Amino acid sequence: MDHRFREKEIKMIAIVLRDEKVTYRCVMCCEGRNVTSPADYTIHSDHFTFEYGTATITCQIDSSCSTPTHVALTARDVPAVFPYSFTVCISVMYDYKNVLGLVQAMEMFRLLGAQRVVIYKTNCDSDTQKVLDYYVKRGFVEIIPWTIKKHINVSSGWKKALSPGQLHYYGQIPALNDCVYRYMYQSRYVALHDMDELILPLKVKNWMDLLPELDAKADYEQQKWKNVQGTNILKCTERIPNSFDNYKIIVSPRLVLQATVHGLVESVKLRPYTVRVKNSIARMYHMKFSYPTNTDLIRDDHLNDYAEDLIPAVSKVLQDCGFIKD
């Protein structure tokens, strides 16, 4: 912030390609609102004829945003309409071979309203890769190669005493944060998930119908799937009573500063922009097939309410990928 002149200005020092003609805009954040204004830039004269030179970029302070908390520079306007309404961020895929679970998860995300799924992939088997290629080809999935193991010793668990390493759980948290920022201006909302977790509305069928509420039978034993490696999520009909961390989030990424596995560490303004959803409206379902002994379980087969649409969608993908026959 430059206070030397009659009106305050924001100054940025940049390295620019001198013969490139660019129209810059400043994006200033004011209590969760984005305010844009034109930016002027001057290339310093002492570039010594090199292709790139130093530049000073100046943002004028908008009267409606006299004390911005964050500032970004863009060569294009911040979109008012986003390409995607809902994007799902998956962190991270490692040693993955649950073909059936992958297809079921993708089709459930689609039924819930997602138009994009971003997967941070360390490694998987060839059958799983075949399914990923199927969804990438159709524009539903983006794969981010997550080669962090080449650079740092990652833990395979979340407790250091039990899973030694230099970084928590395959680098899950940096992957989640990368996804939030990557899709900040591409998606209206992002859902931070693991592959075996689903945020399911209880009174409506998809996330788009769920949001206004926050602001104010099929054959489940599919014989065709019996030879497909993986686990069938429709058999998950029991759950543990909710614990403090048994939740995931759907967020507007433009309000996020730091994300973590279960929620936000820091946001532009945490309240009143967050809603802790009552169990009568929606729940996070974590697909598990075994629990510790002496665990009190609750019968809950709400996932099967999606079976009529899910089963034919999953069967089509498995057939197209060559795992089952018609």
Q: What is residue 37's predicted lDDT score, i.e. its pLDDT? A: 85
Beta bridge pairs of residue 140: none
The answer to whether 12 and 73 have CB atoms below 8 angstroms apart is: yes
The whole-number pLDDT of residue 136 equals 97
Q: How big is the CA angle at 309 (ends 252 and 262), to the nearest 5 degrees?
A: 30
Which percentage of the chain shows pLDDT scores above 90? 34
Place of tokens 């089952």: 324
List Cβ neighbours of 72 (8 Å cut-off, separation of 6 or more): 26, 27, 29
Alpha-carbon gap, residue 96 to 90, rounded angstroms: 13
**pLDDT the model gives residue 300:** 65
Torsion angle of the four alpha carbons 210, 263, 79, 8, in this order, in degrees rounded to the nearest 10:
130
Secondary structure of residue 14 in the 3-state scheme: strand
Query: Would you state the structure tokens that stand for residue 183, as one six-digit string?
Result: 């899709």
Q: Is the pLDDT of residue 70 over 80?
A: yes
Q: Over the chain, what is the mean pLDDT? A: 84
Q: What are the residues facing 121 on neighbouring strands?
A: 93, 145
273 has pLDDT over 70: no
From the number of C-beta atoms within 10 Å of its C-beta (0-12, 13-18, 19+), residue 184 rates as middle
Asked if the model's pLDDT at residue 44 lies above 60, the reply is yes
Look at residue 158 and tell me whether its pLDDT is greater than 70. Answer: yes
Query: Looking at 40-54, 83-97, 292-306, which range is the least confident one?
Result: 292-306
Q: Which long-range contacts (CB under 8 A, 24 or more apart) does 212-215 make?
A: 213/281, 214/275, 214/277, 214/281
Can you give the pLDDT at residue 244? 47
Q: What is the mean pLDDT of residues 9-31?
A: 89
Tell which residue, 63, 79, 1, 72, has the closest CA to residue 39. 72
Strand-pairing partners, residue 245, are: none
Confidence (pLDDT) at 62: 74
- Which of 28-42, 122-136, 154-168, 219-233 shows the lowest per-residue confidence on average (mean pLDDT)? 219-233
Residue reference for tokens 């009909």: 237
pLDDT category of residue 97 using cuts at 50, 70 and 90: very high
Alpha helices in the chain (DSSP H): 99-112, 126-137, 172-182, 207-215, 307-320
pLDDT at residue 8 in the model: 84
Calculate the CA dihedral of residues 220, 223, 228, 233 and round it to 10 degrees: 10
Residues in the chain: 326
More confident residue, 116 or 309: 116
- pLDDT tens-place string over residues 171-198: 888 999 999 989 988 999 999 988 888 8
At residue 217, the pLDDT reads: 47
Query: In the prediction, which pLDDT does 216 show?
Result: 58
Q: How confident is the model at residue 74 (pLDDT cuts 50, 70, 90)?
A: confident
- State mean pLDDT over 280-298: 66
What does the DSSP 8-state code read for residue 60? E
